[in-house]
Amino acid sequence: MSALRLLSGLAILALSLPLYARTPPTAYTITQSVSSAGSGAFMTTYRNGQSVATDMFYPAQPGAPAHHTFTFYDLGAGTSHTWDPSIMPPSCSAATFSGDWGDPFQATTELMDDIKKGDLKPAGMETLHGTPAEVYTGSGQGVNLKAWLDEKNGLVIRAAFGQPGAPMTTMVDITKVSLTPPPASVFALPAYCASVKPPPTPVELIAEETGDDASNWVNGIYGPGTKASCTLVLHVVAAKNMAPINRKFQVAIDTTYNQDNPTPPSYTFGVGQDGTATYSGGGLHEITSQVRNGTLRIDNPPASFNLSVNIPTPNRGADIGLVYRQCFAPITNLYYVVKDPDDMGKGADFLFAKSGKYAAAP
């Protein structure tokens, strides 16, 4: 376990073994100091079931008044909205999330073994913010650790770390805890946030682009590549209807590109008035002449390679992307899905057909 993950876990772990069986509360109000945001900064987290709201208070700074930033989390939908009432005109941002959103009561399973092994040991009692706390100390990954546990609530109310012989740095400093449900009003979105939708998730984007079940596809920009090799068949298609783009396109490839090379190659792209590209640098070379009936066969590419697909467009040059080989059959279909064939500036994605109708051998 890395020191950073260990420290992160201390920030939220109830460090008493009997407390691991305790079901964390889902209704509370918790306030903690946030020294990294300036002296006097603090954040209050409100939760009631699947609804969470945070209020981050920033103290006044030279030339800037004090202000609050609010975030609402819908845990069921995996969406969040953030706004700052002091910004004019008012605006709101929306996002999606998964996994840990910052619940102060979330236990870190990876630390359970460390506690059972005795790496963190009881070190007496102290009172913090009027709350009696059991102190635990230990070390890990060359870092000294100290945590103060409110055994009544099963919550670490302070956690600190430091190098041996150096002052400790406070990570968590909870000043107030209430386990009663907060008022419903704290979860109300302002009117200008209600209509703001988060951007599509990667899964939603694939479904939107292909008009197909996203589970049938794998995005080619995410590695690692499969160990097994295969032949790839490249298709250049329009998003949504997945129809072949019946226009001239160019393809260039560099199968010698090495991500671990400390001196990667420098590529040069020339461009004609009609958008036709020329390629040079590294092992990059054009293979457009191998296109047959609108598709291109790439035999046994390496686990990763640089690939450029250029649909000549006036005043626009070619670009290139790293693709990770994904083999789901001896012949696997790779689709270059163009978001808008009339506006190449909107981009395109390399998608491997894992299953479904688009995975069928050509």
pLDDT value of residue 5: 42
* pLDDT above 70 (res 4): no
Q: Return all residues near 305 (Cβ < 8 A) that are at least 6 apart.
A: 253, 254, 255, 257, 322, 323, 325
* pLDDT above 60 (res 141): yes
Confidence category of residue 246, pLDDT binned at 50, 70, 90: confident
| Dist CA 313 CA 319 (whole Å) | 12
Q: How far is CA 328 from CA 85, 201, 213, 320, 324, in A?
A: 50, 24, 17, 24, 13
Q: Return all residues near 343 (Cβ < 8 A) that are at least 6 apart.
A: none
What average pLDDT does this structure show over 322-345? 95
Q: Which residues pair with 83 in a beta bridge?
A: 70, 92
* Range from 27-31, 95-99, 274-278 carrying the lowest mean pLDDT: 95-99
Map out the domains of the chain as residue ranges: 3-194, 202-359
pLDDT value of residue 6: 40
Which strand (E) or helix (H) includes residue 116? Answer: helix 112-116
* pLDDT above 50 (res 110): no
Task: Give the number of other CB atoms < 10 A from CB of residue 276.
Answer: 17
Confidence category of residue 22, pLDDT binned at 50, 70, 90: low
What average pLDDT does this structure show over 201-207? 92
Confidence category of residue 29, pLDDT binned at 50, 70, 90: very high
pLDDT value of residue 9: 43
DSSP characters for 180-202? Answer: SPPPGGGGPPPHHHHT--PPPPH
* pLDDT above 70 (res 75): yes
pLDDT value of residue 115: 58
pLDDT value of residue 33: 94
Distance, C-alpha 104 to centroid of its chain: 20
* pLDDT above 60 (res 124): yes
pLDDT value of residue 19: 43
> Closest by alpha carbon to 3, among 154, 169, 223?
169
| Fold adopted by 3-194 | outer membrane lipoprotein receptor (LolB), chain A (2.50.20)
DSSP characters for 121-141? Answer: EEEEEEEETTEEEEEEEEEET
* pLDDT above 70 (res 152): yes
The mean of the pLDDT values for the chain is: 88
> Closest by alpha carbon to 246, among 291, 205, 278?
291
* pLDDT above 70 (res 17): no
